[in-house]
């Protein structure tokens, strides 16, 4: 019993720990995965936005440069300059348009030039032919370097700050570079080495210290990076949401584990497990013909054998089993045990009987009769060899009980009223019940030879049973004096420690054989045939 309890407790502790750890660990992992996913999405959004802006700016510049080529106007004429100015005004990203001849700037959208400014060599050329000079210092200001895009005789100046003019989280750095990794513009000081190394790398990922996303277009690369350590803030956000869910799930699982283990540890839970594990065995208490001393049968008395080998007495679990309905599968196991233990002996000696205790539910419903019919016919045991003992507890619904007992006798069983005299039923009340034998309760047998108030009842019970032509079994016979008293009054059978305590099957078979030898074969006349 202790072994099972400690196993259940150990299993509950392990399950409880797993139930507590797993949902919290799962939610911690999900929080981390969601936070990483969100961070990567943020980086990709920033890189894509920057590259889309750069790409659109290049497209706009290209359209503007194409529009300047035709119709041809006299170079640097007022109309030509006015046209360049219109293009500058109409194209949002262009800061200035310049016209070059022989590599020198002749005029811009703001007027004629002295022709000292040289056209810078291109850092690279885009796939649609735009020559890109990345860092050009404007002649009219000392501001930040700008970018120059040339096509044909014209060039436009673009402020690359536009590309990275994006609302950024302070943890995210943005770099716009060319494919060689040369920086065009940046926000939040990205690591230049990282930018250079990523220029030819895959689109997204993680370095040892940073996460990043890369987007490319028209020879430009936008790289958004964030230190890995910045995940903590995002992780906290997710954890605030998900960890309570994990904690709730853990509490729920622990609750279920506690509930289930308490259920398993409860007496009813243990009994249910015992029924499932078929932990019931049967001991047999010999029933002796008082006149000859021959063993004519036995009462099957159930025992609960725990996994540790200890036996539990029936009065400790039968009331709970009856209350819960578990008594029915227990009775079925008793019948199966009788067949397994004694079928051969019962086939060999057709006068031998085994008495089974019926629970109240079986007396009322009659269910047990079909179970018996099924099992007994398979084992070739006669119905007359199985006596059915019913107590007054089974007579609450007297009509249903009567119907069951009538059917039992029709099928050939002997019907015995057990614990006779202990209940409230009068003999008149019992008179209407179909029965073959009365079992006088031990409490009356105990009074034999004693001068007690109930001692006078015992002879009356015996006389009444005789009047009703019932066989009598005296239960709880402990002394020779009691046996002698019963013999003198022609009581047929005795059961009690004087003859034997309840025995395991093997011992009962030995007892039976010894008793047979002792008594000769004079007990063939004890068989009572159902009326």
Ligand X SMILES: Nc1nc2c(ncn2[C@@H]2O[C@@H]3COP(=O)(O)O[C@H]4[C@@H](O)[C@H](n5cnc6c(=O)[nH]c(N)nc65)O[C@@H]4COP(=O)(O)O[C@H]3[C@H]2O)c(=O)[nH]1
Query: Is residue 320 near ligand X by the rule CB under 6 A?
Result: no
Using the minimum distance from each CB to ligand X, give the nearer residue, 191 or 475. 475
Cα–Cα distances in Å, from 92 out to 53, 136, 177, 417, 440? Answer: 12, 19, 22, 110, 115
Q: Candidates 22-30, 207-215, 246-254, 299-307 — which segment interacts with ligand X by CB under 6 A?
A: 299-307
Question: In sequence order, what DSSP letters do the residues of 370-385 get, joined into one string?
Answer: HHHHHHHHHHT--GGG
Residue 70 CA neighbour count, 13 Å, CB half:
2
Please identify, using beta-carbon distances, which residue of 220 and 294 lies nearer to ligand X. Answer: 294
* Residue 85 or 487 having the CB closest to ligand X: 487
DSSP 406-475: HHHHHTT-EEEEEEETSSS--HHHHHTS--SEEEE-HHHHTTTTS--GGGGHHHHHHHHHHHTT-EEEEE
Interface residue with ligand X among 161, 281, 318, 400 (CB under 6 A) is 318
- Say how many Å lie between the first and final Cα of the chain, rounded: 47
Q: Which range binds ligand X by CB under 6 A, 240-248, 263-271, 311-319, 461-469?
A: 311-319
Closest distance of CB 313 from ligand X, Å: 5
Residue 225, H or E segment: strand 220-227
State which residue, 259 or 497, has the beta carbon closest to ligand X: 497
Exactly one of 186, 349, 419, 436 binds ligand X (CB under 6 A); that residue is 419
Segment 449 to 478, residues that bind ligand X, using CB under 6 A: 475-478
Q: Which is nearer to ligand X, 315 or 488 (CB)?
A: 315
Please say which residue, 100 or 280, places its beta carbon nearer to ligand X: 280
Residue with token string 């002394």: 479
Q: Does 313 bind ligand X (CB under 6 A)?
A: yes
Which structure tokens are listed for 421? 């005299």
Q: Which of residues 74-133 bind ligand X (CB under 6 A)?
A: none
Contact status: 496 vs ligand X (CB under 6 A): yes
Q: Is 279 a binder of ligand X (CB under 6 A)?
A: no
- Three-state DSSP at 26 gives helix
* Shortest spacing between CB 500 and ligand X, in angstroms: 9
List 418, 421, 437, 461, residue binding ligand X (CB under 6 A): 418
295, 334, 372, 383: which one binds ligand X (CB under 6 A): 334
480, with CB counted inside 10 A (0-12, 13-18, 19+), is exposed
Instruction: Indicate whether 359 belongs to the interface with ligand X (CB under 6 A).
Output: yes
Instruction: Identify which of 27, 150, 19, 164 has the alpha carbon closest to the alpha carbon of residue 97.
Output: 150
CB 215 within 8 A of CB 51: yes
**Smallest gap, in angstroms, from Cβ of residue 414 to ligand X?**
15
Binding of residue 392 to ligand X (CB under 6 A): no
- By CB under 6 A, the count of residues binding ligand X is 23
CA distances from 340 to 34, 285, 344, 381, 436 (A): 63, 17, 9, 12, 27
User: Which residue do the tokens 């513009």 mark?
Assistant: 185
Residue ranges of the alpha helices (H) in 70-144?
78-90
Among 198, 302, 328, 337, binds ligand X (CB under 6 A): 302
The residues binding ligand X (CB under 6 A) are 285, 300-302, 313-315, 318, 327, 331, 334, 357, 359, 418-419, 475-478, 495-497, 502
């Amino acid at each position: 019993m202790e072994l099972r309890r400690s196993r259940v407790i150990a299993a509950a502790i392990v399950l409880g720990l797993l139930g507590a750890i797993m949902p919290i660990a799962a939610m911690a992992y999900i929080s981390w995965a969601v936070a990483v996913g969100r961070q990567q999405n943020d980086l990709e959004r920033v890189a894509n936005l920057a590259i889309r802006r750069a790409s659109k700016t290049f497209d706009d510049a290209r359209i503007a440069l194409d529009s300047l080529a035709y119709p041809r106007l006299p170079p640097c004429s007022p109309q030509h300059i006015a046209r360049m100015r219109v293009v500058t005004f109409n194209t949002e990203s262009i800061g200035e348009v310049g016209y070059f001849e022989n590599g020198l700037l002749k005029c811009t959208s703001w007027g004629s030039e002295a022709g000292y400014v040289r056209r810078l060599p291109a850092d690279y050329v885009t796939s649609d032919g735009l020559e890109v000079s990345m860092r050009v210092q404007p002649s009219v200001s000392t501001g930040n370097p700008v970018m120059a895009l040339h096509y044909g005789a014209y060039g436009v100046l673009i402020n690359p700050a536009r590309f990275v003019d994006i609302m950024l989280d302070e943890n995210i750095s943005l770099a716009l570079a060319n494919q060689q990794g040369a920086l065009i513009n940046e926000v939040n000081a990205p690591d230049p080495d990282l930018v250079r190394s990523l220029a030819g790398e895959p689109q997204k990922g993680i370095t040892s210290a940073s996460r990043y996303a890369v987007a490319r277009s028209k020879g430009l690369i936008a790289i958004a990076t964030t230190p890995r350590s910045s995940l903590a803030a995002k992780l906290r956000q997710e954890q605030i949401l998900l960890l309570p869910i994990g904690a709730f799930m853990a509490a729920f699982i622990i609750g279920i584990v506690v509930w289930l283990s308490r259920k398993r540890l409860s007496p009813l839970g243990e009994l249910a497990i015992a029924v499932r594990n078929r932990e019931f065995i049967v001991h047999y208490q010999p029933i002796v013909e008082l006149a000859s001393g021959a063993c004519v049968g036995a009462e099957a008395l159930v025992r609960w054998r725990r996994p540790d080998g200890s036996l539990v007495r029936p009065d400790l679990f039968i009331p709970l089993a009856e209350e819960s309905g578990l008594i029915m599968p227990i009775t079925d196991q008793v019948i199966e045990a009788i067949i397994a233990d004694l079928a051969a002996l019962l086939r060999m000696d057709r006068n031998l009987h085994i008495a089974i205790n019926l629970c109240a539910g079986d007396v009322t419903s009659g269910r047990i009769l079909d179970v018996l019919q099924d099992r007994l016919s398979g084992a070739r045991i006669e119905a007359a060899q199985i006596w059915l003992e019913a107590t007054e507890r089974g007579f609450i619904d007297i009509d249903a009980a009567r119907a069951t007992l009538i059917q039992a006798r029709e099928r050939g069983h002997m019907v015995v009223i057990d614990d006779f005299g202990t209940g409230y039923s009068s003999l008149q009340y019992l008179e209407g019940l179909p029965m073959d034998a009365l079992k006088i309760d031990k409490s009356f047998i105990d009074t034999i030879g004693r001068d007690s108030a109930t001692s006078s009842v015992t002879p009356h019970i015996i006389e009444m049973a005789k009047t009703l032509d019932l066989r009598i079994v005296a239960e709880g016979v402990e002394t020779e004096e009691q046996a002698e008293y019963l013999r003198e009054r022609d009581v047929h059978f005795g059961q009690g420690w004087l003859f034997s305590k309840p025995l395991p099957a093997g011992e009962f078979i030995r007892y039976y054989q010894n008793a047979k030898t002792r008594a000769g074969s004079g007990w063939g006349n004890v068989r009572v045939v159902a009326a």
